[in-house]
Amino acid sequence: MQLNYGPFGTPVGLGEFDFQYFTKAFTFKALATIVSIPDAYQIDRAYANNTPQQMTGAYAEVGVNLLYIFNNNTQRNFTLFGRYEYCNLDTQTPSDGIANGADNQQYFVGGLCYFPIKGIALKLDYVLRTSGQLNPALNLNPFGTQPIYYTSNGYINLGIGYSF
């Protein structure tokens, strides 16, 4: 297969930046990451699996505790938040790979999160996901027709979380 082998045979690099700032009234979070696969060309040649050479992603979120703004003696938290996310699983494609615009995605998220007691979260949010066009060369449908692919989708989510 002409691939290097052993513990360091096919390296994958991952770099990350993470920053978080919290007060009783405001929160800010940011994260950025990059993944590098230098041998993507050789992996594609051996397995024909369209391995990317580089992937990137990031997000930033801000939130305000509405209960604390109106009553700074409260122990509860009811946060209004907004977040932007970016993810490109195909930032760089090797020369034998096929670029796919659908792998370049953005998410706009807004919502409310209520923490009635420590460790429990109730969350309601709206997510708008946008992406590039799906590459028709990657259509693996045996009937030859391209399924409908929407480049913009919106979702309403309701959830409960527990942290111990």
For 10-48, the pLDDT digits (tens) are 899 999 999 999 999 999 999 999 999 999 999 988 888
Residue 31 placed within a domain? yes
Locate all alpha helices (DSSP H) within 37-80, ordered by sequence.
40-47, 66-70
Residue 106 placed within a domain? yes
- Residues contacting 38, CB < 8 A, separation 6+: 11, 13, 53
Residue 3 placed within a domain? no
Q: Is the pLDDT of residue 49 over 90?
A: no
Residue of higher predicted confidence among 108 and 146: 108
Residue 142 placed within a domain? yes
Check: CB of residue 76 under 8 Å from CB of residue 99: no
d(CA 18, CA 60): 10
Instruction: Assign 53 a pLDDT band (cuts: 50, 70, 90).
Output: very high
Residue 7 placed within a domain? no
Residue 4 placed within a domain? no
Residue type, 104: N
Full residue range of the structural domain in which residue 102 is found: 13-162
- Percentage of residues in the chain having pLDDT higher than 90: 68
Check: CB of residue 111 under 8 Å from CB of residue 81: yes
Residue 72 placed within a domain? yes
Residue 8 placed within a domain? no
How many structural domains are present in the chain?
1
Nearest to 1, CA basis, from 44, 34, 52, 37? 44
> pLDDT tens across 65-90, in order?
999 999 989 888 999 999 999 999 99
pLDDT at 144: 66
Q: What is the pTM of this model?
A: 0.85
In angstroms, the first-to-last Cα distance of the chain is 46
